[in-house]
Amino acid sequence: MLTRSRPLLLVVAFTIAAPSGVLCQSATAPTTTRVVMLGTGNPNTDPERSGPAVAIVVGTAVYLVDAGPGIVRRAGLAARTDSIAALATPNLDRVFLTHLHSDHTAGLPDLIFSPWVLGRTKPLDIYGPPGTARMANLLEQAYSADVAIRLRGGEPSNKTGYAVTAHDAKAGIVFRDSNVTVTAFEVHHGKWEHAYGYKFKTRDRTIVISGDTSPSDAVVKACDGCDVLVHEVYDAERFKTLSAAWKAYHSVYHTSTRDLADIATRAHPRLLVLYHQLFWGGDDAALLQQVKTRYTGSVVSARDLGVY
């Protein structure tokens, strides 16, 4: 681990994963695993759908996937209204990034600094594809004046919770503790050199999150009968109304309802959960109808704060 010090006592540690990619830490003993949708949106400005963010909650431990805009407030709301104590703001101390698109990372400064202001004492652990450590470093620089004032300007504050440990992880097992083993796998997301899906295996459930991807055999292999498959999707019928340029883009960056139905048929999850939905004027019912014409398993179209 490389620890970097700056003036103003700002410290961010950047760790390049070892060849095995395994980082082991202790955590609370597992109980029932829950999947909480903190954000099901995308760059479109739908106030009912925060940016992409998912929480895997195992007992009192929480593992976040992506940091779309609104993640901290959505987590706080889930902690209060759904009594999911692990999602209390000071507990948000670990996140796995699927890729570095802005709609998946624009909430990262909020996740770094707001929980610290509200009582988190542990540094934020960030795992993601190459470029993750650089992004964390630049955010540290951008918010250095804020941190200096909070540390020395008279505001009560702890001296550790603003720090970040960022890991440029390789595909494979990227994290393991007593609750969960987390495996990153490569998916194809247009021109991104590295984009990951994640598989979370706990004692009672296996959960796969696709991240942003075009149709991928890697998702099928990772799921292979998993309990929950959380997968992005776009409306195949509304796609026909797009301009040629947007058709070309979405066809190589994302997955249609029809393609997702075929993926789910081969992956056979116990529950398929749609998120990052691209509606283009459609709705959840239309997405579900399109998927169900080709897929006979259980499927839901997620809304923010849905728990599965």
Return the active site residues: 103
Rounded alpha-carbon distances, angstroms, from residue 236 to 221, 240, 259, 283, 291? 24, 7, 9, 12, 10
Largest CA distance in the chain: 61
Altogether, the residues listed in the chain come to a count of: 308
Residue 207's identity, in one-letter code, is I
CA 121-126-129 angle, to 5 degrees, is 175
Residue 302's identity, in one-letter code, is A
Place of tokens 């431990």: 61
Helix (H) or strand (E) holding 133: helix 132-142
Rounded alpha-carbon distances, angstroms, from residue 271 to 94, 106, 208, 293? 25, 29, 11, 16
Tokens of 27: 């955590």
Under DSSP, the state recorded for 24 is B
Other beta carbons within 10 angstroms of residue 146's beta carbon come to: 14
